[in-house]
Homo-oligomer: A and B are copies of this chain.
Amino acid sequence: MTQPDLTPKTARGARTQERILRAAEAEFGERGYHDGSIVGITQRAGIGQGTFYLYFKSKEDVLRSLVLYTSRQLRRFLSEQVIDIDDRLEAERVGFRAFLDYIAEHPNLYRIVQESQFVDAAVHRAYYDAFAEGYQSALSQAGFQQTIRDGDYEVWAWSIMGIMHFVGQRYVLWSDDRPRDDIVDAVMDLMINGMKAPGS
């Protein structure tokens, strides 16, 4: 009843686990979670089917791993891009641009995160909670320094994530017919200045 330890013990094992992860990213990204198969993953990885189960408990388990991986990688990437920008609004612009570039570069990972909502809702929610928390504290900091207005930063954080998600979906994943810079400008204009007419 004690489940075996699935951690690779040698460099060879670590390499194989990594190949499985990359193969699963391609398989799920291209065919979706349900149509994607273990056979497909192991073939892409160039290993036997049984090998998959040396490193992952199940099909669901590898999806979870991919979501956690994406969460860490994307948050690290965004914070790296923004680390030495003092102005919050400028950081917002750079971060938004970096996000669009990331999903353009990793559409499969991004799709997998979305689909995880219907496979393991908890891991999907944890992904967004982690982002929201980071955003909210960045906004609080900026508010304290008077870089931005006072406001309900928790709700704002979720609003900003919503904008990023939908705009990224529409203008990067579905079609990239418009220059990314224009998109970023339009969004920043809305987020910074709002919709209110000048004389009112």
Contact = CB atoms under 8 A, between A and B. Distances in A.
A130 to B, nearest CB: 13
Interface string A133-170: 00000000000001111011001101101111111001
Nearest to A183: B155
A35 B166 CA distance: 27
Q: What number of copies of this chain does the assembly contain?
A: 2
Interface residues of A, number: 46
A33 interface: yes
Contacts of A163: 159, 162-163
Given A148-B196, A152-B186, A166 B167 contact: no
B156 A166 contact: no
Given A117-B114, A118-B33, A197-B146, A167 B155 contact: yes
9 smallest CB-CB distances across A and B, nearest first, come from: A162-B166, A194-B194, A152-B186, A162-B162, A155-B186, A193-B194, A148-B195, A159-B163, A162-B163
